[in-house]
Amino acid sequence: MAQDKGLSAWQLTMLALGTVVGGSFFLGSAIAIRSAGPAVLISYLLGGGLVYLILFSLSEMTVADPAPGSFRTYSEKMYGPLLGFLVGWLYWTGLVLAMSSEAIAVSVFLKVWVPQISLPVLGSAVIIIVTLINLLGVDRLSKLESGLAAIKLTAIIGFIVLAFALIAGLFPGRPPVGTGEIAGERLLPGGIAGIAGSMLIVMFTYAGFETIGLAASEARDPHRTVPRAITYTILGLVGLYTATIIFLLPLVPTANLTEEVSPLVAALTRNGLGWAGSIINIVLVTAILSTMLAATFGIARMVRSLAEEGHAPNWLKDKGDIPYRGIIFSGVAMLAGLGLGFILPRRIYLFLISSGGFALLFAYLIIVVTHYKFRREYGCPPKGKCQIPGYPYTSWLAIISLIAIIASMPLIPGQGSGLIAGLLLILFFLIVYLVKELVGKKRPFNRFLEQLRPRTSMEFAKELSNLEKERLNEPVKEELREMMRKEISEKEKISEMKTEELSNPERKKKDNK
């Protein structure tokens, strides 16, 4: 892509924020807050530090090689095609299932306004619209995504302003909340275990930032743009999340929060601002749609990368900047996932979609492990732009932290099935890869079967023509063979004479006299 075209650092940042700030924060953060209490602030700061290490690990590799496929491509270069195949398909499958469940969630919200339309129709319409928008290209998508991301960020900033006004007593006729509910809260109600238990959900609220890497090949001057976008994304996410939690804690008891109601809505409604809570519910719909748009952008490019490496059917390859086939294929897969949500028993469907969280954590682990080997073999990116301090110790810290978070999944209600589903997906794709390789090695046998296939009259005539040419050329070939035999015979005689001379030096002297 030309240097004067492509995504800017701001567009990349808004694309990442569009993926990250979604239902996982507006709704899912309630679980983390209830688990850790006020200490959830520590969880969000630790999560931000871990995201910093993961993103700049990805950044160093992207600066050195802004390849399509991002972390999937780098893992294949460092560890071989098996890992590239596994991480690519696991990431794609996990997000497809997760986005199909998001389509169901947004349909539930929309049905309140259009009750005459069924949930399957609403969900299908949402997925089709998301797919069509992605087909318009990255420039139009990034502009729309920037607008949707701005709505979400404005809603969060609006909550912070309202919460500050409540705490400071700026509303006429209302006493200041002050420290409010936080005065009666223990800092660590669940101890260190509460913080550890909240880290999984906290990481889910940060999930989606890897979109920056997948969009790097379409960025303007990726060597400068990608590191800037990553810096903006980390500062924006950590700043907004921590500020929101700080102003939320005085307004509502952490033990009262549930994943069924946004903690932002619960806090405002409890303090007499129900109208603001209704607005945030509308923003929640926008947040889910924005996440679906950005996620489809990423998984479509992942499919193209898999196809280019021979890990997906050839008909999924795309030559242009827009991966039309990857977008349509992913859209159809999301429709199939949506159908499963209405056909399968609820427990089985929830089991499948829970693999999305594992897929993301697995991808982050692969990014750090790949970067560790990449940095050891190639050193810093061009011009010595090392961005991760304390390598390799910080890399090991990130690896151990991610493994610990994945291992903690069974300790969180509803997430143990995600670990099992994720491991089963890895086993499934491992078998698929082995079968693919086995079939590939049997291609000579396939050629033998091709020889046994009955020929058409045209094919038979062509083969006879080739045989006739061979017969006519046979005298010429025989003459060439005879010339080669004579040449070899003469060379052998010369070689024998030289050997005899070397073995009889006295005879050579007499002959010279």
CB 180 within 8 A of CB 167: yes
Nearest alpha-carbon partner for 36 in 44, 26, 24, 25: 44
* SS3 (DSSP) at 20: helix
Taking CA atoms, 420 is separated from 134, 410, 414, 423, 429, in Å, by 32, 9, 11, 5, 14
Q: What is the distance between the alpha carbons of residues 129 and 254, in angstroms, rounded to a whole number?
A: 37
Q: Which CATH number fits domain 9-418: 1.10.1510.10, 1.10.1060.10, 1.20.1740.10, 1.10.1050.10?
A: 1.20.1740.10
Q: How confident is the model at residue 330 (pLDDT cuts 50, 70, 90)?
A: very high
Closest listed residue to residue 385, CA positions, set 228, 234, 236: 228
**How many helices (H) and strands (E) would you count in the chain?**
21, 0
Band of residue 335 on the pLDDT scale cut at 50, 70, 90: very high
Q: How confident is the model at residue 396 (pLDDT cuts 50, 70, 90)?
A: very high
> What pLDDT was estimated at residue 372?
92
Nearest Cα residue to 247 out of 168, 355, 341: 168
Provide the pLDDT for residue 445.
Answer: 40
Whether residue 144 has pLDDT greater than 80: yes
Between 147-161, 199-213, 305-319, the lowest mean confidence (pLDDT) is in 199-213
Q: Is the pLDDT of residue 416 over 80?
A: no
Length of the chain: 513
What's the rounded Cα separation, in Å, for the pair 339 and 336?
A: 5
Of the candidates 247, 61, 281, 44, the residue with the CA atom closest to the CA atom of residue 157: 247
Q: In whole angstroms, what is the distance from residue 279 CA to residue 7 CA?
A: 31
Please tell me the distance from the alpha carbon of residue 472 to that of residue 467, in angstroms, as a whole number.
9
The angle, 0 to 180 degrees and rounded to 10, between the axes of the packed helices 191-206 and 29-36 is 160
pLDDT attached to residue 478: 62
CA distances from 193 to 23, 37, 47, 246, 258 (A): 25, 11, 15, 21, 19
Q: What is the pLDDT of residue 61?
A: 84
- Identify the band that residue 417 occupies on the pLDDT scale cut at 50, 70 and 90: confident
pLDDT band at 369 (very low <50, low <70, confident <90, very high): very high
Closest CA to 77 of 92, 62, 91, 89: 62
Q: What angle do CA 214, 144, 280 make, to 5 degrees?
A: 105
Beta bridge mates, 7: 219
Under DSSP, is residue 219 helix (H, G, I), strand (E, B) or coil?
strand
> Which 8-state DSSP code applies to residue 456?
P
Retrieve residue 189's tokens: 């109600």
9, with CB counted inside 10 A (0-12, 13-18, 19+), is buried
Q: Which residue has the tokens 């099992």?
A: 420
Per-residue pLDDT band for 388 (boundaries 50, 70, 90) equals confident
Task: Give me the phi and psi of 209, to 5 degrees please.
Answer: -65, -20
Structure tokens at 62: 């992207």
Sequence-distant (6+) residues with CB within 8 A of 332 are none
CA–CA separation, 25 and 206 (whole Å): 8
Q: How far apart are CA 325 and CA 341, in angstroms?
A: 24
Q: Is the pLDDT of residue 73 over 50?
A: yes
Q: Which of 149-153, 186-190, 435-439 has the lowest mean pLDDT?
A: 186-190
Instruction: Label residue 1 by pLDDT band (50, 70, 90).
Output: very low
Mean confidence (pLDDT) of the chain: 79
What tokens appear for 21 in the block?
A: 């700030």
Q: What pLDDT, on a 0 to 100 scale, did the predictor assign at position 403?
A: 92
β-partners of residue 219 are 7
What whole-number distance in Å separates Cα of residue 460 and Cα of residue 444?
22
pLDDT at 135 over 50: yes
Residues 6+ apart with CB under 8 A from 196: 404, 408
User: Which residue bears the tokens 């006299």?
Assistant: 513
Reported confidence tier of residue 131, pLDDT bands at 50, 70, 90: very high
Q: Grade residue 462 by pLDDT with cuts at 50, 70 and 90.
A: low
Q: Give, in degrees to the nearest 5, the angle at Cα 310 between 308 and 312.
A: 90
Interior CA angle at 49 toward 46 and 50, to 5°? 90
Selection from 265-274, 364-373, 448-457 with the highest mean pLDDT = 364-373
pTM for the model = 0.76
